[in-house]
Structure 1
């Protein structure tokens, strides 16, 4: 692979996005293997669901630790080691001879693969100037719906012909290839010059800015996973759509969600703020969910339209709040801050589906959509009043921006105080 003609910032973005896509397919795409789990392993629906949750448990265990590794030893080490170890765990899962062994290996795959959540964001931010970070992180965040789409397209047919082991094999290959590429070609972004052993103060000591971002992001996970988790059931059960038609439409909407993330990133770059677009998008999400609840209660076609719009709106802020956290935390703390940030979101991811399912079973869809709308309003209230700059600036972006304007494509920026 000739990397000399590729601008370094875009190569880092490609590596980060590739790693995120691979880990999303491997760690979040196992829901598409539920029928295969039940057939091949003879487990109940609850047992199959537990297997699907195993990587999420691993992610919760590994996020902050990988953030520490990225902050202290660099993104290249964290991403390369994490993805390669996740590949080994997935390869082991393909040969697991029991449910317990399989569950342990899937937890390990999640714990190792969570390095991507903590380190790839800071790799991208460290190599892009502030006026391009929104779009760059939008590209990186678009890897999540792309990874989900890849899982939906590839894992079920593989499992049908070769069992779950074939699907795990693909996941291992994806993580292994992206991990090896990262280990070979990734370059850690430059950091500020400072005395040996010196580190900037923890950003959590400087008020509640980061905690408010963490809280808002976790609150926004509720509408996102209420909609993504139950859209198919709503369309087939309440609207009478066929599963094939609903699946096709929702797949198209998920791709539209990836585009919306890019547009949100471009918007934040254009206005020089991550929080302002987040506030508007969260408010729009709340309004749309109120319309969805009303449409669901009255069996109105407007409810279907609101659901499809919500499928794109509820994922629109992901890149923005991750960028805001990393920018404020600064190069010494971004990995850990992103780890804490992701932990709060994954707790919501674990809790939302069962609680929402119980609510829908007891009260129907409208109350669930109202709760989701309330959480979007809560996110608006939790967001800080304005963006705040880190006390320790990233050194790379300014130099990258200057080099780009001068026509340089491969030289690394020089760290400065």
Structure 2
């Protein structure tokens, strides 16, 4: 039950920072924004999340998941409701607030998986929790454009607010901790935040977010604006990529449980993502449109499939009772890059062309694989 509710909370939170890009053409029209500007708007939620992850993780280590996730969920819902009647600037501030509150889910729901499931089943359990992210984005991509077209962008924000509040109620009712879970006192986060293995893992995760968010935040714009595919069709293809990415997260979790570790599969996925984006860059302006789509969809899915491995590895590196802090640290790197990637990739696409935006994604995936080099990053808990 805890895993189910945590996954629902994770998926609802993802509807904001991964699902909103599905209506980016309508956001641009509603607010009168350019492509880099809509990237900044979408990145506001990621910026708020990045700043709040470690504090929320530390609170979860002290107070437990229920309080953290419930307070964060209701706060995020209020911010999304505030974005509905606002102009572009105030909507950006409201999305920033939604990110600040929504960060609670990322740190606390991952900690719940770490405390409820043993190591040999943790990869699959975390895969289930992480699969909720692309599935939440996929459902949003399938439904939110129709809401935006039929009722307007403000109603789309209100729909996200209602779903977030409903899941917050479920969290307050059903989430609990297992008997004997370790709670920690205030302070002591320095041991976790200074660990070189966690720092290296966080850096690699941040680099892998570049291809993930190049696909996740800008795929609809690439398909619609560059390839000339209808906006509704582009959103549907985006939803398919999210579903495939969710299946990939489950498969990666099972793979890591059978392999007895997370880093080997993570390294392999990094290589596959780099090759996939390099291939898409080569095909983009030379191949038929159907072939480009056939290459983009599995590449985007691969770029979304690695997160559960990195999250689980970060939690397993933490000392007892510090899982929330470790997950907050690892996720902070992700959200820092997630904040920067949409406007950066959008600028590269406008200034240099979409091919170079895909090349940038391939280069960052390659750099992540170098950071994860065997011998420089090993698995096991932080000493302390």
Q: TM-score, normalised by structure 2?
A: 0.87
Which residue number corresponds to residue 363 of structure 2?
374
Aligned runs of 1:140-151 on 2, under 5 Å?
140-151=129-140
Q: Distance between the aligned counterparts of 2:311 and 2:106, measured in 1?
A: 10
Aligned runs of 1:39-188 on 2, under 5 Å?
43-45=32-34, 50-94=40-84, 96=85, 101-188=90-177
* Shift in Å, 1:191: 5.3
Which residue number corresponds to residue 379 of structure 2?
388
* Shift in Å, 1:345: 1.3
* Shift in Å, 1:100: 5.0
Contact kept? 2:5, 2:171, Cα under 8 Å = yes
Q: Distance between the aligned counterparts of 2:187 and 2:40, measured in 1?
A: 44
Q: Distance between the aligned counterparts of 1:389 and 1:379, measured in 2?
A: 20
Q: Distance between the aligned counterparts of 1:185 and 1:228, measured in 2?
A: 31
* Shift in Å, 1:230: 3.9
Q: Distance between the aligned counterparts of 1:365 and 1:98, measured in 2?
A: 29
Instruction: Identify the range of structure 1 (341-350 vs 155-164) with the bigger mean alpha-carbon deviation.
Output: 155-164
Which residue number corresponds to residue 214 of structure 2?
226
Q: Deviations over 1:347-375 (max 9, x none)?
A: 21122222222323333333332322221
* 1:299 match: secondary structure: coil
Contact kept? 1:77, 1:183, Cα under 8 Å = yes
* Shift in Å, 1:99: 5.3
Contact kept? 1:28, 1:55, Cα under 8 Å = no
The RMSD of aligned alpha carbons is: 3.0
Instruction: Identify the range of structure 1 (227-236 vs 140-149) with the bigger mean alpha-carbon deviation.
Output: 227-236
Which residue number corresponds to residue 287 of structure 1?
275
Q: Distance between the aligned counterparts of 1:237 and 1:198, measured in 2?
A: 49
Which residue number corresponds to residue 7 of structure 2?
17
Which of 265, 268, 275 is the matching residue for 2:253? 265
Which residue number corresponds to residue 364 of structure 1?
353
Q: Distance between the aligned counterparts of 1:173 and 1:51, measured in 2?
A: 21
Contact kept? 1:191, 1:331, Cα under 8 Å = no
Which residue number corresponds to residue 31 of structure 1?
21
Contact kept? 2:62, 2:184, Cα under 8 Å = no
Cα distance 1:369–1:91, how it changes in 2: closer, same or farther (>3 A)?
Answer: closer
Contact kept? 1:212, 1:384, Cα under 8 Å = no
- In structure 2, runs of 5+ residues without a counterpart are none
Contact kept? 2:141, 2:238, Cα under 8 Å = no
Q: TM-score, normalised by structure 1?
A: 0.81
Q: Distance between the aligned counterparts of 2:274 and 2:351, measured in 1?
A: 23
Which of 341, 353, 363 is the matching residue for 1:352? 341
Cα distance 1:193–1:223, how it changes in 2: closer, same or farther (>3 A)?
Answer: closer
* Shift in Å, 1:22: 1.5
Contact kept? 1:287, 1:373, Cα under 8 Å = yes
Q: Distance between the aligned counterparts of 1:354 and 1:198, measured in 2?
A: 36
Cα distance 1:219–1:167, how it changes in 2: closer, same or farther (>3 A)?
Answer: same
Instruction: Identify the range of structure 1 (275-284 vs 338-347) with the bigger mean alpha-carbon deviation.
Output: 338-347
Cα distance 1:204–1:373, how it changes in 2: closer, same or farther (>3 A)?
Answer: same
Q: Deviations over 1:145-187 (max 9, x none)?
A: 1221222233333344443443233222222221121112211
Q: Distance between the aligned counterparts of 1:69 and 1:297, measured in 2?
A: 49
Contact kept? 2:142, 2:239, Cα under 8 Å = no
Contact kept? 1:59, 1:113, Cα under 8 Å = yes
Which residue number corresponds to residue 306 of structure 2?
317
Give the aligned length: 380
Q: Distance between the aligned counterparts of 1:240 and 1:309, measured in 2?
A: 20
